[in-house]
Amino acid sequence: MTNLNETHDPALNSWLASANDSSIGFPVQHLPFAVFRRAGSTEAFRPGVALGDQIIDLARLAAAKPFSDLAAEALNTCTGPTLNALMALGNAHWSALRLALSRAVRTGSALQATIESLLVPQAQAEYSLPAQIRDYTDFYISIHHATAGGRISRPDAPLLPNFKWLPIGYHGRASSVVISGHNVVRPVGQSRPAQTGEAPGFGPSQRLDFELEMAMFVGPGNAQGKRITIDQADEHIFGVCILNDWSARDIQAWEVQPLGPFLAKSFATTISPWIVTREALEPFRMPFNRPASDPQPLPYLMNEAVKQAGVYDIGLKALISTDQSRAANHAPALLAHSNLCHAYWTLSQLITHHTVNGCNLQPGDLIGTGTMSGPEPEQALSFNELSFGATKAIKLPWGQERKFLEDGDEITLQAECVKPGYPRLSFGQATGKVLPAV
């Protein structure tokens, strides 16, 4: 039940040679969006689309007026500092613009000279947040992550009873979402007392962690009081990016009861600059599988489309470098790898559940998946799981050990879609280096 069209033809090639290089990961079948400018310049940030190792400057392309009808209307929204206006238009406009861009960058296109004059090398670009994020919700949809974390804090009952019935989420802090490359200052706060009745500790977090998640940007959204049904949900997903939900576990353990995460999460959330459109992900859909022994989703969260192809096959990797490893020119070390397909709930189910009470979503809202750990130990995408709550050290190839993040450590999160006979789609990466507390 995937919605494939001519833009997904695996045989398509571009007149730009680097777009045909699988190691780069931005082929003509991809065309993700970002907001950029030339690094170090005073240029205005504006939307662009990745093609090979280049960026197509959409603001300048709009001035050339190469398209017509819905594609032209969509392109005309790509002149400001965010993509919110494009996100608000909806799927018909997104698809029309994608088709027009695809035809423009294919081998033999009459628009080759026009597009070539508008290219900016990715190596010469810097990025801004792709949207004005008015609201940010983070979910918790990996049963493997939920169970592993529960074993640390609740060994007798690691998985809470509501997990298998509804997607659990909390309201995050939109103002502290930052783009890849932004340094993260170690947070300061309270931590749990050593003994009951004693005063809590206070100071820099000693258990600073990363969490590899995916996130989606909301498209048109819904009016307050009006639900988005499971049949409509896909139409409200503009695209997907990588997200690092930085977490101070010692602060979190003390504050989390009874209202959930607060200061342990609100100091920084890093996202990758490229938004991979939902349409580009169509070839990587998979069936939704729920163990027969588990509760099946309630009817409002399930339809045939979810059952047949509600899941996305997106490979995930978390890597680390340290001050010591960079000084010795070591490559970043792989900490763990997993896949979005291990999610217990789908992206469309998150949209539907979020609005079932009438909550209104807006164009550019960000929705995180929660840590996307898989079933195996090497698929644990946070230090809290990898070190089992700091009870064991993770050995790094250059001789250092880690239980949680130390100052100077840099986390790099990556994602990609790979399948036989189809070009590789890269999501780029989300990076952040830890700075000392101030």
d(CA 141, CA 169): 9
Cα distances (angstroms) measured from residue 261 to each of 53, 146, 198, 223: 39, 14, 22, 28
d(CA 150, CA 147): 5
Question: For residue 171, what is the enclosing H or E element?
Answer: strand 169-171
Q: What is the mean pLDDT of each run of 10 residues along the chain (438 residues)?
A: 90 98 98 98 98 98 98 98 98 98 98 98 98 98 95 88 96 97 98 93 98 98 98 98 98 94 97 98 96 97 98 98 98 98 98 98 98 97 97 98 98 98 98 98
Cβ-contact 36, 272 below 8 angstroms: no
Active site residue: 145, 236, 337, 353, which one? 145
Q: Quick check: is 145 catalytic? A: yes
Q: What is the pTM of this model?
A: 0.98
Cβ-proximal residues to 266 (8 Å cutoff; 6+ apart), any chain: 172, 173, 176
The pLDDT score that the predictor gives to residue 14 is 98
The pLDDT score that the predictor gives to residue 154 is 87
Nearest 5°: CA angle at 138, between 48 and 235? Answer: 55
